[in-house]
Structure 1
């Protein structure tokens, strides 16, 4: 992939206003969906003693926090002024998720609980696998045009939910059809590992992929160390 700046051209005030409004709309939809997803996943996960399902629900809760942080940022007269704080919130939310899920998965592997079949979890994972890519693509595209590293970082959190939906679905299906109880906590550990990676990228996102408002190009975004696969890469 070729490194590109977030904003390929200057934006006039009218277009910037449209894009900022679109970001607010996207995060509102994301928050609503993920609140429902978190409640269903955590409840079903506790009922089935599923570390992967609980971890997925916690990821949804983290995504709510991430989207809320972006919404807070874009309520300011100058959203750019809140960019760094927003990225830090997103990063810490990833790290917190990783720690909790790892501990829960290890407990399950050590025999503290045995995952059971969860039809609700399977359906939830399948629905999220269809919905999340659309929300992620829309926010990422808008964030890049706007030049917002935090919006792009949040879109990656949403995309992470897509990957985790696939991992969760595989773990639940293997447990349900073949009785591989270890597949559930293993899926949870994959969720935790990906969360750490995304947290690190969000933490350094303001230095790696930041483009000041109205800037046509940014040499730094293409040359900053560690930015070869960050939010400033092309689709």
Structure 2
């Protein structure tokens, strides 16, 4: 007698190969964009003494390393090899998040206590706005492919890409408030938001909850 619970269908090998190629292409696009984003954000952040911009640039570095780890995973020739590499990939993503959170939090507290004050940064505003437009598109495409392929690491990486969009929004708000109203405290405040989000995403990646928000036990 049927229980009424749908039984998930196994993906055909050909479909798995198509999804794996799609993820590799999306990862390549993410890496390319983030390399540009890193250079702009770190340069602009250094010139403006902006904690939030430097933190955003470092997050871009982490996104490159995370995407490279996923690319390494999906460079394996078969599904079994990819699964064997997945846990290590998730660990790399998690540790990267924690490192980012620690650095940004310390630097933000330093700025808030008056040992540093950020200047206005038009390049920072431009790159934050551009990232806010680009990152959700890349994230959604990779998340769909990762979920269909049942890959926690691909979904975790897509969530890191989406985090970049959230960080872009926080960064943009802080930079605009500083530029328009002279609220220099808005910059480190935005950086603390970045640090808090990074801790959450790092914890989720470490626990293997990149897939559908639940600990991975064999499927979404």
Same fold (TM over 0.5): yes
Aligned equivalents of 2:8, 2:99: Cα separation in 1: 34
Alignment match, 1:209? 216
Report if aligned partners of 1:147, 1:210 keep a CA contact under 8 Å in 2: no
Point out which structure has higher relative CO (alpha carbons under 8 A, 6+ apart): 1
Aligned equivalents of 2:20, 2:176: Cα separation in 1: 40
1:149 partnered with 2:149: no
TM-score (structure 1 length as normaliser): 0.86
Would the alpha carbon gap of residues 186 and 83 (structure 1) be closer, same or farther in structure 2, given more than 3 Å must change? same
1:13 partnered with 2:13: yes
Structure 1 residue 107: deviation in Å? 1.2
Which of residues 165, 189, 196 is equivalent to 1:193? Answer: 196
1:186-220 Cα shifts (integer Å, max 9, x gaps)? 00000000000000000011681243xxxxxx4xx
* More helix as a share of residues: 2
Alignment match, 1:223? none
- Structure 2's unaligned 5+ residue stretches are 1-6
RMSD of Structure 2 on Structure 1 (CA): 1.4
Alignment match, 1:106? 109
1:138-185 Cα shifts (integer Å, max 9, x gaps)? 000000000100000000000000000000000000001011110000
- Structure 1's unaligned 5+ residue stretches are 1-6, 212-217, 219-231
Aligned equivalents of 1:200, 1:114: Cα separation in 2: 31
TM-score (structure 2 length as normaliser): 0.91
Aligned equivalents of 2:8, 2:109: Cα separation in 1: 45
Alignment match, 2:52? 52
Alignment match, 1:97? 100
* Runs (4+) off by over 6 Å: none
